[in-house]
Amino acid sequence: MKYLSPILAFVAFLLLNACAKPTFRLIDKPIIFDEERKQLSLEYLAKRHGIQQQQPYIKPKMIVLHWTAVPTLEATFDIFNPSLLPGRPDLQKASRLNTSVPFLVDRDGTIFRLLPDTTFARHCIGLNYCAIGIENIGNNDLTKAQMKANVQLVRYLKRHYKGIEYLIGHYEYKDFIGTPIWKETDPNYLTGKIDPGKSFMRKVRSRVKDLHLKGSPGLGGE
Ligand SMILES: [Zn+2]
């Protein structure tokens, strides 16, 4: 009898652990955000989006999910880290600001924050001025842990930024052309995107249904 209560306590401990929600692991791993990146961000906002601002921050209305097509976190970090865009002449014509996102999700679901949540980042033509980007390490092979981390991150962002109304996959961005949300001064500046895949978006959306986030206009607002 005297062993019963420690055993019960242990069983309760196991049960609690089994029921606990997965840990939300967010690690700050900042990329360079120097004066040059700040000025290039303000220039991008003015030239591409037609928005004059003094500070490179956004009022988020949307979350855009991506995959990196680069297999490791380290390689991806090195790509986003410099302020200036390396190579990619098609993108350089539009701006020399390097691409980046505030959030990078590793294969095991660990979330790295590269920039403060609402810092302006170049990741989605026409929508950067209002969109928070989440990049997932990988290709069309994103993991279940990444899917769960995206769900948690979307919930975290919606909790902190009430103005967020939309959740889209990068491949859906062109559906906003012609709507008031689309802001890009050159109608020919467009790139083809398939990330992060329809099945990944379906899975994430089905798990955050209760947040009532809208999709692209092509989805009929679902
Ligand atoms: Zn993308």
The predicted structure's pLDDT at residue 4: 66
- At 133 the three-state DSSP class reads strand
CA of 195 to the centre of ligand 1 (A): 5
How many angstroms separate the alpha carbon of residue 84 from the centre of ligand 1?
A: 18
Report CA(7)–ligand 1 centroid distance (Å). Answer: 50
Classify strands 111-113 and 103-105 as parallel, antiparallel or unpaired. Answer: antiparallel
Tell me the C-alpha distance between 177 and 124, whole Å: 12
**Chain centre distance of CA 122:** 11
Q: What is the CATH number of domain 24-219?
A: 3.40.80.10
Q: Specify the pLDDT at position 222.
A: 39
* Cis? peptide before 196, omega within 30° of 0: yes
Q: Distance from the CA of 135 to the center of ligand 1, in angstroms?
A: 7
Q: pLDDT digit string (tens) for 102-117?
A: 999 999 999 999 999 9
Cα 133 to ligand 1 centre (Å): 8
Stretches in the chain below the pLDDT threshold 50: 221-222
User: What's the CA-to-centroid distance between 46 and ligand 1, angstroms?
Assistant: 22
pLDDT of residue 221: 42
- Residue 31 is classified by DSSP as P
**150: which residues sit within 8 A by CB, 6+ positions away?**
65, 105, 134, 136, 204
Ligand 1 midpoint to CA 8 (Å):
49
With a pLDDT cut of 90, the percent of the chain lying above it is 82
- Asked if residues 72 and 122 have their Cβ atoms less than 8 Å apart, the reply is no
Q: Render pLDDT for 142-185 as a digit per residue (tens, 0 to 9).
A: 999 999 999 999 999 999 999 999 999 999 999 999 999 999 99
What are the domain boundaries of the chain?
Answer: 24-219
Q: Distance, CA 20 to ligand 1 centroid (Å)?
A: 32
Task: Return the pLDDT at 47.
Answer: 97
Distance 3 CA to ligand 1 centre (A): 57
* CA distance to 27, 95, 151, 200, per residue, from 204 (Å): 21, 32, 6, 6
Write down the pLDDT at residue 141.
Answer: 96
**Interval between CA 125 and ligand 1 midpoint (Å):** 10
